[in-house]
Amino acid sequence: MFLLNWSRIFPKSIHVPDVRARELLRYLGPGILVTVGFIDPGNWAANIAAGADYGYLLLWMVTLSTVMLIVLQHNVAHLGIATGYCLSEAATIFLPKWLSRLVLLSAVGAAIATAVAEILGAAIALRILFDLPLLVGTVAAALTSGVLLLTSSYQRLEKWIVGFVSLIGFSFLLELSLANIDWLQAARGWVTPDIPPGAMPIVMSVLGAVVMPHNLFLHSEIIQSRQWNLEDEAMIQKQLKYEFFDTLFSMLLGWAINSAMILVAAATFYQAGLHVDTLEQAEQMLRPLLGNTASVIFALALLFAGFSSTSTAGMAAGSIFAGIFREPYNIKDVHTRWGVALTYFFAVLVIYFISDPFIGLVYSQIILSIQLPITIFLQIYLTSSHRVMGKYANKLRLKVILAVIGIIVSLLNIGLLIDALTS
């Protein structure tokens, strides 16, 4: 049987074994739920703006963000497996009360910003497809996602999300086949860091759209819900090892879809010298450039992305809010339901006051990037603590890698602040 041997490629702190490919398929799932969070409508706006305004130059940010994401999601999943706590529960248990509340309330704020982008994206798709007023579509998207959460278990929801992600991925493969991509420039863009003048807000929105704080909470919640920490030592070790492949596969899928968004925008809007201000405008512009088929695919994929990512944002918010009360996510529990309901309510309320939906989408991702260092350093502290993780605490090499990621994100935020003050 075919074996995958990654042990020579990744450091020992990543815990990567030889894995039988057929058996691996049984463990795919949690990573897919997380992946849909960073191919949401907020990503669409950030990536379309990046490709339309700067061509292939900002593809490197998707690559860098995805590499950081793989390390962070893998690390936070280990917290759930080893301790049986999600990130929110662990923060409440192991941090001083005042500090944990401050950190987790900022994470709830990030979840609301995420829900704003995701509900708004679904509402825009409904307006494109069915000419629904934006506010009617907003309420419909929030209610639909709420029903999905109320009626689905994790395993059932995973199947829904896998289906949505597959449709989104297939949609962009079709878009790519219709566009004339300059693959040489794309290859350079993927590996060559470059921040053109005035691009800092877009760079930060791409970062916030890929490395999303609520996804770190969500991944630890989904993993811990399986309660692998209650099994014997051999089972824990096995799950720790298989989890990496679920994360790697899922994050690379997200990288491909996010890259495809920028590639299509660069090959169509940038090459034609067209500036995009709205997602509807992007859909309309695709008609003469790629044909009617591309615009319909665009709108349907946006709808699927909006519904699925709104559901996962609700799950993350419910997990964070329940964790404040030292409880795991449970949609039948009052604290989880309050977390979901409050997040959707405030997201709809914010959308009501947004005058420019496209700018709202982009800036919602900037808000995520600003909160991100808080969540990253919380995660580093908890997963590096022997009091929390026991023998599964981060080794020195992984601590250094995580610290470098936290510093990079912090420096980018400082760059954004400087750019805002000097522009």
In which band, very low, low, confident or very high, does the pLDDT at 221 lie, cut at 50, 70 and 90? confident
The pLDDT tens digits for 320-379 are 999 999 998 988 899 999 999 999 999 999 999 888 887 887 788 788 888 989 999 999
Cα–Cα distance measured from residue 371 to residue 300, given in angstroms and rounded to the nearest whole number: 31
- Percent of the chain scored above 70 by pLDDT? 82
Domain assignment present for residue 241? The answer is yes
Question: Taking the model in full, what pTM does it have?
Answer: 0.83
Domain assignment present for residue 373? The answer is yes
Would you state the pLDDT for residue 291? Answer: 73
More confident residue, 147 or 103: 103
Three-state helix/strand/coil letters over the chain: CCEEECCCCCCHHHCCCEEEHHHHHHHCCHHHHHHHHHHCHHHHHHHHHHHHHHCCCCHHHHHHHHHHHHHHHHHHHHHHHHHCCCHHHHHHHHCCHHHHHHHHHHHHHHHHHHHHHHHHHHHHHHHHHHCCCHHHHHHHHHHHHHHHHHHCCHHHHHHHHHHHHHHHHHHHHHHHHHCCCCHHHHHHHHHCCCCCCCCHHHHHHHHHHHCCHHHHHHHHHHHHCCCHHHCCHHHHHHHHHHHHHHHHHHHHHHHHHHHHHHHHHHHHHHCCCCCCCCHHHHHHHHHHHHCHHHHHHHHHHHHHHHHHHHHHHHHHHHHHHHHHCCCCCCCCCHHHHHHHHHHHHHHHHHHHCCCCHHHHHHHHHHHHHHHHHHHHHHHHHHHHCHHHHHHHCCCHHHHHHHHHHHHHHHHHHHHHHHHHHHC
Domain assignment present for residue 125? The answer is yes
Nearest residue to 356 (alpha-carbon basis) of 280, 273, 253: 280
In which band, very low, low, confident or very high, does the pLDDT at 33 lie, cut at 50, 70 and 90? low
Average pLDDT, the chain: 83
Domain assignment present for residue 6? The answer is no
Could you list the residue range(s) of the whole structural domain that residue 183 is in? 19-422
State yes or no: pLDDT of 421 exceeds 60.
yes
State yes or no: pLDDT of 294 exceeds 90.
no
In which band, very low, low, confident or very high, does the pLDDT at 307 lie, cut at 50, 70 and 90? confident
Domain assignment present for residue 78? The answer is yes
State yes or no: pLDDT of 19 exceeds 50.
no
Domain assignment present for residue 2? The answer is no
Q: Domain count for the chain, please give it.
A: 1
In which band, very low, low, confident or very high, does the pLDDT at 108 lie, cut at 50, 70 and 90? very high
Query: Which tokens is 76 given?
Result: 């936070």
Residue count of the chain, please give it: 423
In which band, very low, low, confident or very high, does the pLDDT at 406 lie, cut at 50, 70 and 90? very high
Domain assignment present for residue 11? The answer is no
State yes or no: pLDDT of 272 exceeds 90.
no
State yes or no: pLDDT of 138 exceeds 50.
yes
CATH number, residue 335:
1.20.1740.10
Q: For residue 121, which amino acid is it?
A: G
Would you state the pLDDT for residue 344? Answer: 96
In which band, very low, low, confident or very high, does the pLDDT at 72 lie, cut at 50, 70 and 90? very high
Would you state the pLDDT for residue 6? Answer: 42
Mean per-residue pLDDT, 50-70? 93
Would you state the pLDDT for residue 422? Answer: 76
Would you state the pLDDT for residue 229? Answer: 52
Would you state the pLDDT for residue 156? Answer: 66
Domain assignment present for residue 33? The answer is yes
Mean per-residue pLDDT, 170-191? 87
Would you state the pLDDT for residue 89? Answer: 96
Mean per-residue pLDDT, 28-37? 64
